[in-house]
Amino acid sequence: MSVKKLLLGVMLAALAATALLSAGQVPAVGSMAPEFRLPSQDGTQIGLSDFRGKWVVLYFYPKDGTSGCTIEAHNFQRDQAKYAAVNAVVVGVSVDSTDSHKEFCAQQGLTFKLLADTEKKVSAQYGSLMNLVGYKIAKRHTFLVDPAGKIVKVWTDVSPNKHSEEVLAALKTVK
């Protein structure tokens, strides 16, 4: 990781601590997850409804290539077989471009879908958009969506280091 990316990650983390939420409310547990359609790193359009019949770990993250986002993505990648074993898929969303996602996936060996919310509408719809001194990025939030499309768990205080384990533990309790 370059010093520039590391510094950017540290700066984003520091700014995030003081950022003001500029999006709507986080959807409530028990509500239907808002539907969307966004391009993935391979250019295909992906919608939440494409995963009906599966558990969906829908996670929002600030920026490709930054330290916390890389750790979180690596942990989700490490646990892909565990998610598959419980009929779950991991889908990441940030406001980065598809080209940024493609590069991030290639550099980090990521095989799950990363979606480009460049218009920031889906992040706002999920109450996961914050303003960092005029620049809007996604907040680190995760939504566990059941096979019928209902939100069963929400994390708004996410630690990238242990989050995948938290999500897997929750999947064991809600099944």
pLDDT of residue 20: 37
Which amino acid does the sequence have at 93? V
- Residue linked to tokens 């599966």: 54
pLDDT of residue 132: 79
Spatial separation of the C-alpha atoms in residues 29 and 104, rounded to whole Å: 31
Spatial separation of the C-alpha atoms in residues 144 and 151, rounded to whole Å: 6
In the predicted structure, residue 162 carries a pLDDT above the cut 50: yes
CB 142, CB 151: distance < 8 Å: no
Kind plus residue range of the DSSP H or E element containing 37: strand 37-39
In the predicted structure, residue 4 carries a pLDDT above the cut 80: no
- Domains, the chain, in order of start with CATH, read 3-174 (3.40.30.10)
Q: Predicted confidence band at 65 (pLDDT cuts at 50, 70, 90)?
A: very high
Weakest mean pLDDT among 1-15, 31-45, 52-66, 101-115: 1-15
Q: Predicted confidence band at 108 (pLDDT cuts at 50, 70, 90)?
A: very high
What whole-number percentage of the chain has pLDDT above 70?
Answer: 86
pLDDT of residue 134: 79
Q: Which are the contacts of 137, defined by CB distance < 8 A and separation ≥ 6?
A: 12, 62, 63, 94, 95, 129, 130
Annotated catalytic residues are 69
In the predicted structure, residue 31 carries a pLDDT above the cut 50: yes
The model carries a pTM of: 0.85
- What's the per-residue H, E or C state across 85-135? HCCEEEEEEECCCHHHHHHHHHHHCCCCEEEECCCCHHHHHCCCEEEECCE
